[in-house]
Chain A
């Protein structure tokens, strides 16, 4: 046996990280690869009366003809007798990232003479998506990746009256903000001057607060101080006043999306003109993942708990309490 004591070099030293590098940050790259391969899904619903520019706005947001109007066969423009829910999917790709975008349109909303309970079919649709996901989840033979048809975000179009929210707006948002992320926007904002716009926004925010309507980004879901700081800035600006357009005009030597009138051209992506760019950044560039996360980890979980509790309400008829101690708001069945 050799005499190891001869050479004084080997020491029982703790070799720390400064010495070498394990490489655990490479897991981010692995995740990224996988995500790129799988692609992403995003489901966005647009709600509002006819003629508020919903289809144009969705086309502008995704810079492609993804809305119902673009895919429609030559039907006459008519207001449907009841609210319809039309869902259209496209796969769009950008810089190697593939996204399956589903736009859910709701023609007929708010267009009837009597609009009572017009939010119900929409609520039913949203819950049906949750139900479908739940069924897939509890299956014995589960798919590796459950196709996500849950509505991640609902853009609600407020007509630019300039006064305050209407009863139908409040009704809708009050009910739906409990099941889905709502992003209200002031549509066709090119009819409001900047002062009128600010006044309108303020009134809207007051109305929302007075009716305890929690729109995206919800205060209670801010995860940490950094999130809160970013989201407070957003909350100070919503609802965004947007103008949509899918026509390009020449302005100062550049081709821009806009609306040309006799008194000037409204540039859609110019933030001094309207807030479309902010909406787009919020929905797509910065908060898309967060929107999806809130849908799956909060709204979907709430639905799931409600559903599972429905199967065993207490004998005295009282609804069960959620596992986290939050009592249910109303007893809403999944079938409405």
Chain B
């Protein structure tokens, strides 16, 4: 009998009749069982990057995930940029490491903040995030829930330019428009143009302004009291270091006898992964190694639930106004769907009818709550 040699296989216990752990019931293997399933299925993560052109967003993404997502990119010249609007582009890449598969989606926002008049330039971005929530809401309420695709944005890295003296009005407005829809992590980009003192001053300033303007950036969850000391220490350092001052690089340089990612200047070499040079490592560790799951959780449990509650309330109030018409059409503010087959259209119709019923029930629930 050849057994699979997967790390997480525990069929060994089943097929060899050797019970070392006689005194145990054995459900301590549950985390491993869950593990095994997740390893098979793989994970997904959607990361959005936002900020003006030229702040090093693409470079940072490539440095974080050791990918080369932007190699075929064509940069617009100044003339072309005059007429550019804010776009949303998506790049998806599958990464596998030590048997764990991650489907990473990077949502980029070229054109953000680049125009002369940047009024409401975040609108396409908030619309995009809402669309993903809406899609998920429909899928979740639908009949066939086996393979729901989760395209919701789990995290938004916002790039603050290092040249100014803190947050600019567009930074504040952007973050306020998005802080209740997505986890925002503000970053100080291109930090290699700042001295350590300047970095500290800028960070303090930005932190102050974030608090003053009431911007709710992503908060790291509190450490449990029973966590190891090392973990608690790391956690504390992480919290005191925000916003992270980062540097990215697509090039490999030779420094101190090793090949590292870095930027070569006549006056020295900046090493991306050197913690005394910048906070790149902290960002990477936080984003990927310790808080990726929490980012997804907060998106699901807080941002998405807010959206859902809001959506349902809007729908029920519309229903009350329309006196419960039979037509399912005005229920959801849907964009025109793609070309679908007859069957799919019929299925959606049935879903809408059913949702109508559900909403009637909820409306009743809400009335009861009010009384």
Contacts and interface: CB of A to CB of B under 8 A. Distances in A.
Interface of A: 2-4, 6-7, 9-17, 19-28, 30-32, 34-37, 40, 42, 61-63, 92, 94-97, 99, 138-142, 144, 223-224, 226, 230, 233, 269, 271, 277-278, 280-282, 284-290, 293, 297, 301, 305, 308-309, 311-312, 320, 322-324
A42 B23 CA distance: 20
A285 B9 CA distance: 11
A312 B27 contact: no
A319 to B, nearest CB: 13
Contact of B28 (A96, A280, A297): A96
18 contacts: A14-B68, A15-B252, A15-B261, A19-B66, A24-B102, A24-B292, A27-B288, A27-B292, A30-B290, A30-B293, A140-B365, A230-B11, A285-B13, A285-B27, A286-B33, A287-B33, A289-B36, A323-B144
A76 B309 CA distance: 51
A27 B97 contact: no
Given A19-B66, A233-B15, A269-B22, A31 B264 contact: no
A22 B301 CA distance: 27
Nearest to B312: A140
A294 to B, nearest CB: 12
A31 B38 contact: yes
A34 B37 CA distance: 16
B14 A286 contact: yes
Nearest to A290: B33
Contact of A289 (B13, B30, B309, B354): B30
Contacts of B24: 63, 94-95
Interface string B246-288: 0000111110000101001111000001000000000011001
Contact of B29 (A2, A286, A290, A308): A286
A90 to B, nearest CB: 12
Given A20-B273, A141-B309, A286-B29, 14 more contacts: A10-B251, A13-B251, A22-B284, A23-B285, A30-B291, A30-B293, A31-B34, A37-B224, A94-B26, A140-B366, A280-B26, A288-B30, A293-B37, A312-B350
B226 to A, nearest CB: 10
B24 to A, nearest CB: 6
Contact of B97 (A19, A25, A141, A290): A25
B99 interface: yes
B358 interface: yes
A35 B34 contact: yes
Given A28-B38, A31-B38, A311 B357 contact: yes
Nearest to B288: A23
Given A15-B66, A323-B347, A140 B31 contact: no
Given A311-B354, A312-B357, A323-B142, A12 B33 contact: no
A95 B24 CA distance: 9
A305 B25 contact: no
A322 B146 CA distance: 12
A26 B144 contact: no
Nearest to B294: A30
Contacts of B362: 138, 140
Given A31-B293, A35-B31, A281 B13 contact: yes
A284 B27 contact: yes
A61 B156 CA distance: 48
A293 B38 CA distance: 12
A226 B4 contact: yes
Contact of A34 (B142, B293, B347): B293
B210 interface: no
